């Protein structure tokens, strides 16, 4: 598989603090990857640099072989990088339908095709029945799904998901995992997922990158990671 | 499925279209039923209504408050006056050039200011202060360059004549002809502005009001859209100012200042900032009411106080203004896409 995203020696310093230190990373097209690590490991900073919200101090980011290190957020979104924020960032005062509609308006979809596209997305994230509801009135888990729907409707190819199951019930968490696996399989999307929920990560059956103190500690399958002594000592041990 | 809040998608629009039709038919009928002062003054109020719409699309849809609308209005008014005064002996009707210069002048000024402010990330209260300063700058400019602008005396502006080659020459000196010409300008302005704000552009502007970060992360160039909506707003204020000058037959610093800009904010707040029609009607009603109250001897000195109390009452009791109140009374609860704040 071709590499969708290649990151070379990425470093971010906030004054004295080194949030990311010489991180190199590669993600194949159609790959699902989990990023774990204790608090302060630099996970959110890492995906913020991919989405363009944080400018790296040094290093390079290549998306589809193009250097995007200095590209602003909205232009990264246009070439297919979609970010779900830690706190759902949706349009609370608009309806579910209108939320997805705005995402579709960001794409070159001709006006005739918009409605069908919106409904297809709503079906995919199981919000078709909530179409007319105000987003502010949705349950937390539904808002998380809506935000994923927004990324899909916006034609993102790389999903950056910062704690997509935060605040979800065990059942919702489980179906979120199913949804993500289905998206990767059926729509050939790629995703980088920051998570804390070990059961969710185990369910995803995806490769895991462990960050610790801003560096990549180790990468591998969940089973490998679970057995790794270093990881156990910095992370799983006190989880 | 029972939803607590139903966003009214198409229903509200049809109702607002019916209301708009009723308002414009009523305005069209007034000169047939009466004459005199009402027919003289209403076109001016309609143009103030266009000025109110210029703020409503910015504030109600975009969530951007501006105390600079008077500046663009004055640019339109003075451009009209100066062009009509100095552009003589040309084959082309100088009033047309004046309207064009006034409208484009208002729009381009807003575009430039919007570009610098929005691309520098100026927003919320800081943006309001910048627009406030703009009103002061324009007011001081027209006061200071009195050789050109007439300073505090204002600038005399001729009533325009509508021409169409050698086929038509219609003087707008009388009240009724200019009334209908103004109405014939106001209606398409309303229709085009409404269509724009209901279409892709308007939806994006509402999205920016609701969540700028999400819109950026979706790939929208947020500063560009803010600049465009501000430019559109300046354009509308400019067209209103151009016609106002030729109707009122003057351009005056009073129509450039902070005080006048504040009045625009009040009209829009009372009329309903989420509705272009509401703010248009709001301006006409409030301007008429001020005019009427100031003519009653017993309260002549208190009428600004009365207006202030009405303003406060509207803000406290119905935040959606008259348009929001009408919608609520018309049933179906919530305010639809414009709801929220």
Q: Containing domain of residue B46, as a range? A: 10-338
The verdict on a CB contact (< 8 Å) between B4 and A137 is: yes
- Residue B319 domain flag: yes
Mean pLDDT across chain B, nearest whole number?
90
- Looking at residue A239, its pLDDT comes to 45
- Looking at residue A40, its pLDDT comes to 87
The verdict on a CB contact (< 8 Å) between B9 and A132 is: yes
The verdict on a CB contact (< 8 Å) between A94 and B210 is: yes
Region for residue A56 given its phi and psi (left: phi exceeds 0; alpha: psi -120 to 50; beta: otherwise): beta
Segment among A27-36, A106-115, B92-101, B287-296 with least mean pLDDT = B287-296
Domain containing residue B16: CATH number? 1.10.3470
- Looking at residue B329, its pLDDT comes to 85
| pLDDT of B189 higher than 80 | yes
CA A209 to chain centre: 14
Q: Considering only alpha carbons, which residue of chain B is nearest residue A52?
A: B217
The verdict on a CB contact (< 8 Å) between A51 and B217 is: yes
Q: Considering only alpha carbons, which residue of chain A is nearest residue B204?
A: A102
- Looking at residue B328, its pLDDT comes to 84
- Chosen from B217, B332, B338, B341 to mutate, greatest number of chain A CBs within 10 A: B217
In this prediction, residues A173-185 reach a mean pLDDT of: 92
Q: Which domains does chain A have, with CATH numbers?
A: 1-80+158-239 (3.40.50.300), 87-156 (no CATH)
pLDDT in tens, B234-246: 999 999 999 999 9
Which of helix, strand or coil describes residue A198?
Answer: helix
ipTM score of complex: 0.94
The verdict on a CB contact (< 8 Å) between A73 and B206 is: no
SS3 content of chain B, % helix, strand, coil (to 5): 75, 5, 20
**pLDDT tier at A138, thresholds 50, 70, 90:** very high
The verdict on a CB contact (< 8 Å) between A132 and B217 is: no
In this prediction, residues A6-11 reach a mean pLDDT of: 97
Q: Considering only alpha carbons, which residue of chain B is nearest residue A147?
A: B214
pLDDT in tens, B89-131: 888 899 999 999 999 999 999 999 999 999 999 988 999 999 9
From the list B1, B210, B341, the residue facing A129 with the nearest CB is: B1
Q: Contact, B28 vs B183, CB < 8 A?
A: yes
What's the number of domains chain B is made of? 1
**pLDDT tier at B334, thresholds 50, 70, 90:** very low
The verdict on a CB contact (< 8 Å) between B222 and A91 is: no
Q: Considering only alpha carbons, which residue of chain A is nearest residue B202?
A: A102
Q: Contact, B111 vs B231, CB < 8 A?
A: yes
The verdict on a CB contact (< 8 Å) between A101 and B9 is: no
- Chosen from A102, A121, A143, A150 to mutate, greatest number of chain B CBs within 10 A: A102
pLDDT > 70: percent of chain B:
93
- Looking at residue B339, its pLDDT comes to 40
- Looking at residue B341, its pLDDT comes to 40
Q: Is A118 exposed, middle or buried (0-12, 13-18, 19+ CB in 10 A)?
A: buried
- Looking at residue A234, its pLDDT comes to 82
Question: Locate tokens 């041990």: which residue?
Answer: A237
**pLDDT tier at B1, thresholds 50, 70, 90:** very low
- Looking at residue B280, its pLDDT comes to 98
From the list A94, A102, A111, the residue facing B218 with the nearest CB is: A102
Region for residue A215 given its phi and psi (left: phi exceeds 0; alpha: psi -120 to 50; beta: otherwise): beta
Q: Which of A59-68, A174-183, B165-174 has the highest average model confidence (pLDDT)? A: A59-68
Inter-chain Cβ pairs, chain A and chain B, closer than 8 A? 89
| pLDDT of A121 higher than 80 | yes
Which of helix, strand or coil describes residue B8?
Answer: coil
| pLDDT of B309 higher than 60 | yes
**Distance to chain B for A102, nearest Cα, Å:** 7
Q: Considering only alpha carbons, which residue of chain B is nearest residue A94?
A: B337
**Distance to chain A for B222, nearest Cα, Å:** 9
Which is more confidently placed, A74 or B316? A74
List CB contacts (< 8 A) between B341 and chain A: 93
Mean pLDDT across chain A, nearest whole number?
93
- Chosen from B3, B12, B199, B219 to mutate, greatest number of chain A CBs within 10 A: B219
Give dist(CA A52, CA A75) in Å, integer. Answer: 9
- Looking at residue B21, its pLDDT comes to 97
From the list B214, B216, B334, the residue facing A91 with the nearest CB is: B214
Taking each helix axis as running N to C, give the angle between helix A96-105 and helix B200-210, from 0 to 180 degrees, rounded to the nearest 10: 110
**pLDDT tier at A236, thresholds 50, 70, 90:** low
**Distance to chain B for A9, nearest Cα, Å:** 25
**pLDDT tier at B167, thresholds 50, 70, 90:** confident
- Looking at residue B333, its pLDDT comes to 46
Q: Contact, B322 vs B311, CB < 8 A?
A: no
- Looking at residue B335, its pLDDT comes to 44
| pLDDT of B5 higher than 60 | no
The verdict on a CB contact (< 8 Å) between A94 and B337 is: yes
Q: Contact, B127 vs B146, CB < 8 A?
A: no
- Residue B210 domain flag: yes
Instruction: Give CA torsion, residues B272, B276, B282, B285, to 10 deg.
Output: -150
Give dist(CA B213, CA B216) in Å, integer. Answer: 5
List CB contacts (< 8 A) between B61 and chain A: none
pLDDT in tens, B193-208: 999 999 999 999 999 9
Give dist(CA B267, CA B69) in Å, integer. Answer: 12
The verdict on a CB contact (< 8 Å) between B210 and A132 is: no
From the list B7, B203, B207, the residue facing A134 with the nearest CB is: B7
**Distance to chain A for B120, nearest Cα, Å:** 14
List CB contacts (< 8 A) between A74 and chain B: 216-222
Distances (CA, A) of B301 to B136, B288, B306, B335: 27, 17, 10, 38
Name the interface residues of A facing B (CB cutoff 8 Å).
51, 73-75, 77-78, 82-83, 85, 89-95, 97-98, 101-103, 105-106, 111, 129-130, 132-134, 137, 150, 154
Give dist(CA B236, CA B53) in Å, integer. Answer: 8
The continuous run of DSSP H or E covering B40 comes out as helix B37-56
DSSP string covering A121-169: HHHHTT-GGGTTSBGGGS-HHHHHHHHHHHHHHTT-SEEEEESTTTT--
From the list A92, A95, A103, the residue facing B218 with the nearest CB is: A103
- Residue B3 domain flag: no
Q: Contact, A126 vs A147, CB < 8 A?
A: no
The verdict on a CB contact (< 8 Å) between A106 and B203 is: no
| pLDDT of B144 higher than 70 | yes
- Residue ranges of alpha helices (H) inside chain A are 43-51, 73-78, 96-105, 111-124, 140-153, 170-186, 198-204, 222-227, 229-234
- Looking at residue B332, its pLDDT comes to 55
The verdict on a CB contact (< 8 Å) between B5 and A133 is: yes
Q: Contact, B29 vs A154, CB < 8 A?
A: no
- Residue B286 domain flag: yes
């Amino acid at each position: 598989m071709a590499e969708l995203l290649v990151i070379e020696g990425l470093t971010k310093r906030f004054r004295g603090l080194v949030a990311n230190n010489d991180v190199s990373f590669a993600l194949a097209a159609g790959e699902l990857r989990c990023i774990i690590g204790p608090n302060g490991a630099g996970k959110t900073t890492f995906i913020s640099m991919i989405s363009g919200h944080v400018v790296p101090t040094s290093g390079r980011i290549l998306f589809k072989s193009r250097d995007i290190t200095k590209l602003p957020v909205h232009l990264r979104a246009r070439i297919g990088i979609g970010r779900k924020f830690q706190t759902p960032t949706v349009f609370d005062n608009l309806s579910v339908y209108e939320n997805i509609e705005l995402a579709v308006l960001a794409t070159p979809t001709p006006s005739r095709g918009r409605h069908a596209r919106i409904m297809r997305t709503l079906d995919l994230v199981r919000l078709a029945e909530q179409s007319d509801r105000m987003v502010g009135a949705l349950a937390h888990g539904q808002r998380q799904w809506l935000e994923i729907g927004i990324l899909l409707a916006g034609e993102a190819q790389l999903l950056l998901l910062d704690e997509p199951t935060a605040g979800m019930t065990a059942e919702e968490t489980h179906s979120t995992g199913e949804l993500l696996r289905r998206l990767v399989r059926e729509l050939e999307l790629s995703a980088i997922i920051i998570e804390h929920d070990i059961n969710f990560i185990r369910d995803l059956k995806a490769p895991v990158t462990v960050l610790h103190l801003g560096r990549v500690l180790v990468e591998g399958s969940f089973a490998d990671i679970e057995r790794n002594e270093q990881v156990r000592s910095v992370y799983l041990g006190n989880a | 499925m029972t939803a607590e809040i139903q966003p009214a998608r198409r229903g509200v629009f049809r109702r607002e279209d019916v209301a708009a039709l009723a308002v414009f038919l009523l305005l069209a009928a007034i000169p047939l039923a009466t004459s005199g002062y009402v027919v003289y003054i209403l076109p001016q109020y309609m143009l103030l209504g266009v000025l109110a719409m210029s703020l409503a699309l910015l504030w109600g849809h975009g969530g951007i408050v501006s105390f600079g609308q008077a500046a663009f209005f004055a640019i339109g008014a003075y451009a009209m006056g100066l062009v009509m005064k100095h552009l003589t002996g040309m084959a082309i009707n100088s009033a047309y050039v004046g309207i064009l210069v006034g409208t484009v002048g208002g729009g381009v000024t807003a575009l430039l200011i919007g570009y610098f402010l929005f691309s520098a990330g100026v927003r919320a209260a800081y943006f309001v202060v910048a627009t406030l300063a703009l009103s002061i700058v324009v007011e001081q400019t027209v006061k200071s360059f009195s050789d050109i602008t007439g300073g505090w005396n204002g600038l005399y502006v001729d009533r325009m004549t509508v021409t169409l080659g050698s086929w038509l020459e219609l003087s707008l000196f009388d009240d009724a002809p200019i009334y209908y010409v103004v109405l014939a300008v106001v209606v398409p302005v309303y229709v085009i502005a409404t269509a724009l704000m209901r279409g892709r552009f308007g939806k994006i502007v509402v999205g920016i009001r609701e969540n700028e970060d999400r819109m950026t992360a979706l790939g929208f160039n947020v500063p560009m859209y803010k600049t465009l909506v501000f430019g559109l707003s300046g354009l509308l204020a400019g067209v209103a100012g151009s016609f106002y000058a030729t109707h009122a037959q003057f351009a005056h610093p009073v129509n450039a200042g902070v005080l006048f800009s504040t009045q625009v904010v009040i009209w829009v707040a009372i009329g309903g900032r989420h509705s272009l029609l509401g703010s248009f009607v709001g301006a006409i009603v409030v301007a008429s009411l001020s005019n009427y109250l100031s003519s009653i001897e017993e309260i002549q000195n208190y009428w600004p106080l009365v207006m202030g109390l009405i303003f406060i009452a509207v803000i406290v009791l119905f935040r959606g203004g008259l348009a929001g109140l009408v919608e609520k009374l018309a049933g179906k609860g919530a305010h639809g896409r414009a709801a929220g704040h």
